[in-house]
Amino acid sequence: MDSVVIVGVGVMGASLAWWLAREGVRVTMVDQFEPGDRRASSGGESRLIRCSHGSDADYTASARRARELWRQIEADAGTELMVECGVAWFAHREDGWEAESLTTLARQGIPAERLEPEEAMKLFPSLGVSDLAFVLHEPEAGVLRAERAVRTLAGQAVAHGARLEQAVARPDGESALVALDDGRRLEADGVVWACGPWLGELFDEHLSLRTTRQDLCFFDGGPAWAKPGVPGWVDFDLAIYGTGDLDGHGVKAAPDTDGPDLAASAALPGIDPASERAARDYLALRFPPLARAPLRSSR
C-alpha cells in the first residue's frame, strides 16, 4: 500500500501515521481539531501508562512495548512526554486483579514490587491503608503528558513526510474515498477511520457504540504533591484513579465509573457535583489531608 488517509489524529491515528510515514507510505492525516484537543479521548493533561493488566499477557507486553516506543519518540523529538513516577495499585484482597498482575509482570520480567500497606506509605505525602491488603508498585510506570504526546506524534509523522489536514471527514461511498467538509475529496489506497468515540456516529449502520461522560477533578494539594516521584495511583476495586500534581495542573482524582450518555459530538458539559463528592469521599479514605483541598479545576 503506497498511500493511506488516516481520519482521526488521536493517539491511535497519530501512532499509525508515525509508523507508516517512517515506512515510506504517503500518509494524509485528517482531524476536525488540532491534535491533542481536549475533546478527543486522547487529549487533556495526562494519562497513566502502566503494564498491569491482570492475567492478560498480551496487554501487558503491549504496554511495555508502548513505553519503549514513547522513549524513542521522546529521543527523536527532544521532549519529555513520559514521567516515570511509578504507579501504585491499591489491592483490597490477596487474590485479586493486582495479584494476577504481579504474576504476569514477573513472567515478563517487568519491574514490580508487592509492598505491605505500611511500606507503601513512603510513596505518598499521605496514605490511608486500613482497608488495603497490599500495594502493587510498578516503578517504571508513570504518567504520559497526553496532549503533548499526541501533538509530538503527529509532528513526528509530519517530519517523516505525512500531511496534516484540519477538516471534518466522512466516508464517500467507495471504501477508499473520504469527503471533507471544505468540499475536497481525498483518495488513497486505504483509509483508516481512527475516530475513537465518533465512530458510532460515522458508521451507525455497522457498529453500535455507547459513549458516556467521565468527570475529572484536579485539587490543590500543595507543594508535597507537586514533588517529582509522587506515583500515579489506581484503586481498581473502588473504581477511581489519579496522579500527583504534574506540571501544576493539581492532584488528579477521577472516578472511573460510566457517567450518563453523552454523544461524542456534544459540547462538553461542566462536571456533575456528584463526581466531585465521590472524589472527595475517596480522598478522605485514601489521602485524608486532600479531602478538603480546594478544587483547582474540573472537566
Ligand X SMILES: Cc1cc2nc3c(=O)[nH]c(=O)nc-3n(C[C@H](O)[C@H](O)[C@H](O)COP(=O)(O)OP(=O)(O)OC[C@H]3O[C@@H](n4cnc5c(N)ncnc54)[C@H](O)[C@@H]3O)c2cc1C
**Burial of 201 from C-beta contacts in 10 A (0-12 / 13-18 / 19+):** middle
Q: Pattern of binders to ligand X over 194-223, x per CB under 6 A?
A: xxxxx---x-----------x---------
- If one asks whether residue 12 binds ligand X (CB under 6 A), the answer comes out as yes
Residues 115, 133: contact at Cβ < 8 Å?
no
- If one asks whether residue 13 binds ligand X (CB under 6 A), the answer comes out as yes
Neighbouring residues of 65: CB distance < 8 A, sequence distance ≥ 6: none
- Spatial distance between the Cα atoms of 65 and 70, rounded to a whole number of angstroms: 9
**Closer residue to ligand X in complex, CB, 213/289:** 213
Return the residue of 4, 5, 6, 10 that touches ligand X, per CB under 6 A: 10
Least CB distance to ligand X at residue 11 (A): 5
- How many Cβ atoms sit within 10 Å of the Cβ of residue 214? 15
Neighbouring residues of 293: CB distance < 8 A, sequence distance ≥ 6: 219, 220, 221, 222, 251, 283
Nearest of 11, 7, 5 to residue 150 by alpha carbon: 11
Return the residue of 8, 231, 244, 255 that touches ligand X, per CB under 6 A: 8
Residue range at the interface with ligand X (CB under 6 A); choices 68-76, 124-132, 167-175, 279-287: 167-175
Nearest of 10, 15, 16, 19 to residue 191 by alpha carbon: 16
**Closer residue to ligand X in complex, CB, 28/32:** 32
Residue range at the interface with ligand X (CB under 6 A); choices 5-13, 68-76, 220-228, 270-278: 5-13
- If one asks whether residue 178 binds ligand X (CB under 6 A), the answer comes out as no
Least CB distance to ligand X at residue 259 (A): 10
Return the residue of 4, 5, 30, 253 that touches ligand X, per CB under 6 A: 30
- If one asks whether residue 9 binds ligand X (CB under 6 A), the answer comes out as yes
Residue 68, Ramachandran bin (φ over 0: left; ψ between -120 and 50: alpha; else beta): alpha
**Binding-site ranges for ligand X (CB under 6 A):** 7-13, 30-33, 40-42, 47-48, 168-170, 194-198, 202, 214
